Amino acid sequence: MTRIAVIGGGIAGTSAAYELAAGVEVTLFEQESTCGYHSTGRSAALFTECYGDPIVRRLAMASRSFLEQPPPGFTDDPILRPRAVMFIATTAQESSLAEALPGYRAMVPAVHGVDAAEAVARCPILDPAVIAGGIVEPEARDIDVHALHLGFQRGIRERGGRIVTSSGVTGLSPEGGGWVVETATARHRVDVVVDAAGAWCDAIGAMAGSTGIGLVPKRRTAFTFAPPTGAAPDGWPMILDVDEQFYFRPEGVHLLASPCDETPMEPHDVRHEEIDVALGISRVEAVTTMRIRSVAHAWAGLRSFVADHRPVNGWDPDLPGFYWVAGQGGFGIKTSPAMGRFAAGMILHGAPPPDLSAAGLSAEALGVARLR
């Protein structure tokens, strides 16, 4: 039986391992003691079909049915919950709003524009003196990332796969047409290596002798705070600046916000900088009547991109048996079901699943050759 090592226990590695474990022997290696410690545990948990380039949007659309109706036993709780998104613009950004609407609507017909009064009616803390209007995506959703990630992990085990935590991969060497995967305590002989190590994908590639994919991890900050007294934010949409300068959304009893920072850096256990939190506060306050007195919790995570901001899902052209699932940027959670199925199709059958091909998700669009 084919043996596959998947490196990385975030949403990318677990979704690929889940699909692969249906057909082959899979071992997933995670360096941390738990699988969602890095980017996957730090996201804003939004499902939108309007964010990202057309390939990213098609991957999200192709993931929707799995997220809405996962296989029986996958999870006890629904993965998606209603949460509209409203892209907003100030009077200085009206041209951005006009430019964005046709592109959004071309792929998602339910998307529609709203005037300033309706935007404020949907989110009453928006400041009517500065808001010019918005674009509403009514079918966006909150994602229960924990339920999704746990469902993939449980499914891997139920299908006979293994997840080994606290097992960082320290070496990769080709041997007899396959690979030897080294950790601090063991050597594992496999036929295929899947590099799904998030911000560390190029570091794993380098261990295998690859020239890499030009991955750039970028820090993004998020923080939570109490909503204004008397506000009932649960029914509000997620508010996204049309030029991606900030967002905020209900998060339990709090609001969650981000300054949409993108600071390039080496992969590591990233922490937030107070200056980015302050920037987020000032950007949110500039379009609302709300004053943020104190922050409940702040954090940062890495969003890793290749040059064209599309994910990478394909064989390394120069390293037989080495497969990349990388570059999930700011869309790795919402695209994970389709990304996992795409990887399994390519690895097990030499082609993407027919429905993904029909959606324009080809080996050329997602593969490594476009980056070399």
Ligand X SMILES: Cc1cc2nc3c(=O)[nH]c(=O)nc-3n(C[C@H](O)[C@H](O)[C@H](O)COP(=O)(O)OP(=O)(O)OC[C@H]3O[C@@H](n4cnc5c(N)ncnc54)[C@H](O)[C@@H]3O)c2cc1C
Q: Determine the Cα–Cα distance for residues 92 and 352; give it in Å rounded to an integer.
A: 44
> What ranges in 125-194 are assigned the alpha helix state H?
145-158
Choose between 13 and 134: whose C-beta lies nearer to ligand X: 13
Choose between 124 and 254: whose C-beta lies nearer to ligand X: 254
Least Å from the CB of residue 97 to ligand X:
21
Q: Determine the Cα–Cα distance for residues 273 and 280; give it in Å rounded to an integer.
A: 11
Choose between 94 and 266: whose C-beta lies nearer to ligand X: 266
Choose between 31 and 90: whose C-beta lies nearer to ligand X: 31
Choose between 27 and 90: whose C-beta lies nearer to ligand X: 27
Give the closest residue to 324 by CA, choosing from 284, 286, 265, 370: 370
State the residues that interact with ligand X by CB under 6 A: 7-13, 29-32, 37-40, 42-46, 168-169, 196-200, 204, 220, 222, 258, 301, 303, 328-334
Give the closest residue to 40 by CA, choosing from 194, 198, 263: 198
Q: Determine the Cα–Cα distance for residues 137 and 142; give it in Å rounded to an integer.
A: 13
Least Å from the CB of residue 139 to ligand X:
15
Least Å from the CB of residue 299 to ligand X:
8
Least Å from the CB of residue 95 to ligand X:
26
Least Å from the CB of residue 339 to ligand X:
9
Choose between 243 and 262: whose C-beta lies nearer to ligand X: 262
Give the side-chain half-sphere CA count within 13 A for 74: 20
Kindly list the distances between the CA atom of residue 172 and the CA atoms of 12, 180, 189, 210, in Å, as whole numbers in the listed order: 20, 6, 10, 11
Least Å from the CB of residue 130 to ligand X:
25
Least Å from the CB of residue 98 to ligand X:
25
Least Å from the CB of residue 266 to ligand X:
13
Choose between 100 and 325: whose C-beta lies nearer to ligand X: 325
Give the pair of three-digit tokens for residue 357: 């091909």
Contacts of 289 (CB under 8 A, 6+ apart): 125, 126, 127, 228
Kindly list the distances between the CA atom of residue 68 and the CA atoms of 100, 104, 331, 334, in Å, as whole numbers in the listed order: 27, 21, 17, 11
Give the pair of three-digit tokens for residue 110: 């339910």
DSSP 33: S
Choose between 168 and 174: whose C-beta lies nearer to ligand X: 168
**Number of neighbours of residue 341 by Cβ within 10 angstroms:** 22
Least Å from the CB of residue 207 to ligand X:
8
3-state secondary structure of 142: strand
Q: What is the per-residue burial (b if ≥16 Cβ within 10 Å, else e) of 359-372?
A: bebebebbbbeebe
Choose between 44 and 125: whose C-beta lies nearer to ligand X: 44
